[in-house]
Amino acid sequence: MKLNCDLGESFGAWSMPVESAIMAEIDQANIACGFHAGDPLVMKQALFLAKTHGVAVGAHPAYPDLQGFGRRSMAIASDELNAMLQYQVSALSGMAALYGVNVTYVKPHGALYNDMMKNAEVRRTVMQSIAEINASSTGAPLTLMVQATAQNAALKEEAKGWELPLYFEAFSDRRYTDEGLLQSRGIEGAVLDEDDALMQAEQLIESGTVTTASGKTLTVEADSLCVHGDTQGAVSIAQRIRSFL
């Protein structure tokens, strides 16, 4: 299983301090594209760090929500959302090409990610936007990263219609609901502390299961495990998971 982290999420005078430390521990860096966090300099620095450490780069697009860090759901028309996603992925891909880095996948951020998993229309727009980028490219197709749930097979079928490869992702530091989705951050305990995050990571890696907030055990077949860069103790969590892996 690979280890991924959402990075490049500083913005202007606001700095996320973990980037250089955590990059050495991960396999995949999901780099913000400016709509929820990140700016041109931050993107450039994150790309250089990923290249230095041999980390695969993914675009991390979001709703246009700098004030809310992309964690507020927005009702956006499909054609607008399509264009927003293609704009963000293209911005990061263009910057990456300047420095000899390939963007190989796309992981939507925050509320957009959650909406994609719950709402078939949003998911269709996300898949279509990436498929259109792939159709215009001569390189390897971008892979879409989605949450691993009991619906993996159905999601594969949806993606097959767009000729879109998928990565399935699990979360080390977030509490799961009985439906296999992520508990709202507004609920106390939704973000796990360091010890609980490591326990959940070990369970996911060893048995391919996760224990939900109510104590139910769910099967989770995932290709990649996420540690959020803004989680308290993120670097230590990543280091301990890397050691376990």
Burial class (CB in 10 A: 0-12, 13-18, 19+), 236: middle
Return the pLDDT at 13.
56
pTM: 0.94
Return the pLDDT at 206.
94
Burial class (CB in 10 A: 0-12, 13-18, 19+), 43: buried
Return the pLDDT at 138.
84
Return the pLDDT at 18.
57
Return the pLDDT at 228.
86
- The residue segments making up the domain with residue 84 are 2-244
Q: Which residue has the tokens 């001569």?
A: 138
Instruction: Give the count of domains, the chain.
Output: 1
Amino acid code (one letter) for 222? A
CA 198 to chain centre: 19
Cα–Cα distance for residue pair 165/182, rounded to 1 Å: 23
Q: What is the DSSP string of 38-84?
A: --HHHHHHHHHHHHHHT-EEEEE---S-TTTTT-S-----HHHHHHH
Cα–Cα distance for residue pair 143/127, rounded to 1 Å: 10
pLDDT in tens, the chain (245 residues): 999 999 988 776 566 655 778 899 999 999 999 999 999 999 999 999 999 999 999 999 999 999 999 999 999 999 999 999 999 999 999 999 999 999 999 999 999 999 999 999 999 999 999 999 999 988 899 999 999 998 999 999 999 999 999 999 999 999 999 999 899 888 999 999 999 999 999 999 999 999 999 999 999 999 999 998 778 888 899 999 998 88
Return the pLDDT at 135.
96
Cα–Cα distance for residue pair 145/120, rounded to 1 Å: 16
Nearest to 198 by CA among 172, 226, 231, 221: 172
Residue 196, Cβ neighbours under 10 Å: how many? 15
**At 169, which CATH number?**
3.20.20.370
Return the pLDDT at 17.
56
Return the pLDDT at 16.
64
